[in-house]
């Protein structure tokens, strides 16, 4: 069995549009610039497509560290990185149950986002002082189980504004199986972007990722520490922001477990440089990199 990377995706602004890559650098914090920015409401609470489906229509682009945003009916916004030393005072941000720090990107970005979203909001970037870690319970449970073969796997994995872990890995075979189910009910197939993965692999059977312990790509070892429970976001068409009860309704008919409705696996990595999410890798050629077509060596849970 040969398993390879089919596609790579980053989401610079949490819950906004994604960018596809054929070649990208990474750190322990994730793919370069993944979830480096977050939009917060007037109370400082992070905003996502769960409540604001319109966020899917905000399309980011990156160049030389400058974030560019486009959205229907809006002028292009450029968010130029600040070079203040020391960094401006941090703003507290809570992503679900975990606290971290953001750096406010200013009034121009706030006004642009407020005009498009129709509610007051602000744009924050991961602050250089942020120290948000992936769940130590999940990582340490994996380390205990696999310490014989991977004794030096790191315990701490700092990352940015992603929900809970720096990487989400999805299996094209699982999407193909889901689409067969949808089509048998008369529903159109859906693209993988509904599930917002970072790494999509091909060559596995449907849902075979449930049984993987790790994936080695070159010097990088991805530990699969938690299966991913899905919220309603896969019901949002990422091109139109329209909501449908599918595919969650169909997925729930055969992928409901104690942890929730599952699709994809959350991962952390060894073999990449440390990162706290701030900067999160520049994509420079000296960094460890992933490329579409890279071959993965798999280790299954026993």
pLDDT in tens, 73-105: 999 999 987 666 676 789 999 898 888 999 999
The C-alpha angle 37, 45, 131, rounded to 5 degrees, equals 55
pLDDT band at 71 (very low <50, low <70, confident <90, very high): very high
- CA dihedral of 146, 152, 155, 156, whole degrees rounded to 10: -140
Residue-range definition of the domain harbouring residue 28:
3-300
Element containing residue 261 per DSSP (H, E) = strand 260-270
Whether residue 251 has pLDDT greater than 80: yes
235 or 89: which carries more pLDDT confidence? Answer: 235
pLDDT band at 149 (very low <50, low <70, confident <90, very high): confident
Given a contact cutoff of 8 angstroms between Cβ atoms, the answer to whether 161 and 242 are in contact is no
Neighbours of 99 (CB within 10 A): 11
Neighbours of 154 (CB within 10 A): 15
Whether residue 285 has pLDDT greater than 70: no
Please give the tally of structural domains in the chain: 1
For residue 272, give both structure tokens.
């990449």
Whether residue 283 has pLDDT greater than 80: no
Q: What's the confidence (pLDDT) of residue 245?
A: 97
Given a contact cutoff of 8 angstroms between Cβ atoms, the answer to whether 280 and 33 are in contact is yes
Task: Please state the pTM of the whole predicted model.
Answer: 0.95
Given a contact cutoff of 8 angstroms between Cβ atoms, the answer to whether 105 and 13 are in contact is no
- Look over the chain and give the mean of its residue pLDDT values, rounded to a whole number: 94
Distance CA 55, CA 241 (A): 8
pLDDT band at 281 (very low <50, low <70, confident <90, very high): low
Among the residue ranges 93-107, 197-211, 246-260, 282-296, the one predicted with the least confidence is 282-296
Percent of the chain predicted with pLDDT > 90: 86
DSSP class per residue in 93-154: EEETTEEEEEEE--HHHHHHHHHHHSS-EEEEEE-TT---B--HHHHHHHHHHHTTT-TT--
Sheet with strand 59-63: strands edge to edge: 59-63, 66-70, 77-79
Whether residue 286 has pLDDT greater than 60: no
């Amino acid at each position: 069995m040969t398993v390879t990377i089919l596609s790579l995706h980053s989401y610079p602004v949490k819950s906004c549009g994604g960018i596809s890559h054929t070649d990208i650098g990474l750190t322990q914090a994730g793919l370069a610039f993944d979830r480096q920015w977050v939009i917060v409401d007037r109370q400082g609470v992070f905003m996502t497509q769960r409540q604001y489906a319109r966020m899917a229509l905000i399309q980011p682009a990156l160049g030389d560290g400058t974030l560019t945003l486009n959205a229907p009916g809006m002028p292009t916004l450029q968010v130029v990185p600040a070079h203040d030393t020391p960094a401006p005072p941090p703003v507290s941000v809570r992503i679900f149950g975990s606290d971290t720090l953001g750096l406010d990107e200013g009034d121009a970005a706030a006004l642009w986002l407020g005009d498009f979203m129709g509610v007051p909001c602000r744009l924050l970037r991961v602050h250089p002082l942020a120290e948000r870690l992936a769940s130590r319970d999940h990582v340490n449970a994996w380390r205990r189980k696999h310490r014989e073969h991977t004794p030096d796997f790191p315990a701490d994995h700092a990352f940015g504004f992603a929900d809970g872990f720096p990487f989400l890995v999805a299996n094209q075979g699982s999407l193909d199986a889901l689409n067969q189910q949808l089509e048998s009910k008369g529903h159109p197939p859906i693209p993988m972007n509904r599930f917002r993965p970072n790494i999509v692999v091909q060559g596995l059977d449907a849902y075979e990722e449930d049984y993987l312990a790790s994936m080695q790509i070159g010097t990088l070892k991805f530990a699969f520490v938690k299966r991913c429970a899905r919220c309603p976001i896969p019901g949002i068409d990422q091109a139109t922001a329209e909501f449908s009860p599918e595919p969650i309704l169909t997925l729930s008919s055969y992928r409901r477990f104690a942890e929730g409705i599952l699709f994809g696996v959350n991962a952390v990595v060894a073999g990449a440089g440390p990162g706290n999410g701030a900067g999160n890798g520049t994509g420079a050629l000296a960094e460890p990199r992933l490329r579409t077509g890279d071959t993965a060596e798999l280790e299954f849970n026993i």
